[in-house]
Amino acid sequence: MNRESDKIDEIDTSQAGKIIFVSNDIPLQTVRYAATDILGNLVYFTDEAEKYINYSRGSRRIQKYVLNYLHKIPAILKDPSIIIIDPEDISERTLVYYKEIHVKEKQKQELFALIVKAYKERIVYNFHPQESGKVKFWKSKPKVLYLKKGHKRANYL
């Protein structure tokens, strides 16, 4: 089933191969594609992000299935359930986009977290299941940047 939000035309590959500077803390990134998020921000998916996600999820046998859902990243950016500022990032430059995805391997919906670093450029940084089914907490409730219409904060916090 090909849903509207999964269409490939939501990505822009015209900058593929371009090297971008994000911050002094993050190595140079090679653009794979760009996609616009629900807030109108351009977010880059890079070769380095894909390598990191492949390594970090692929090395965890129970999370290897995540690699089958990398194609969902543009749809998560465009139509997240909730976006928060990572409560552990005091600079407030780490955003977490959450969306429920039907996982064929488990035959159920699962909440996925897409981590975006927002510095000079916005880049996808990581992608993983949120096993608790709730958004990330640290010492206090996170700041919510976006909540999809019809969704309730209580479902995520």
Q: Is the pLDDT of residue 102 over 90?
A: yes
pLDDT computed for residue 9 by the predictor: 56
| Cα within 13 Å of Cα(12), Cβ side | 10
Quick: pLDDT tens for 118-153: 999 999 999 999 988 888 776 778 899 999 999 998
- Measure the CA–CA gap between 91 and 121, rounded to whole angstroms: 15
* Residue ranges making up the domain that contains 67: 4-155
One-character DSSP codes across 85-146: E-TT-TT--EEEEEEEEEETTTTEEEEEEEEEEESSSEEEEEEEE-TTSS---SSSPPPEEE
pTM, 2 dp: 0.90
Enumerate residues 6+ apart whose C-beta is below 8 A from 18.
Answer: 30, 31
The count of domains in the chain is: 1
Please give the pLDDT value at position 5.
43
Q: Tell me: the pLDDT tens digits for 18-33?
A: 999 999 999 999 999 9
Residue 7 in this model has a pLDDT that exceeds 60: no
Q: What mean pLDDT comes out for the span 63-86?
A: 95
> What would the pLDDT profile of 34-68 be if each residue is shown by its tens digit?
999 999 999 999 999 999 999 999 888 888 999 99
Q: Residue 110 corresponds to which amino acid?
A: E
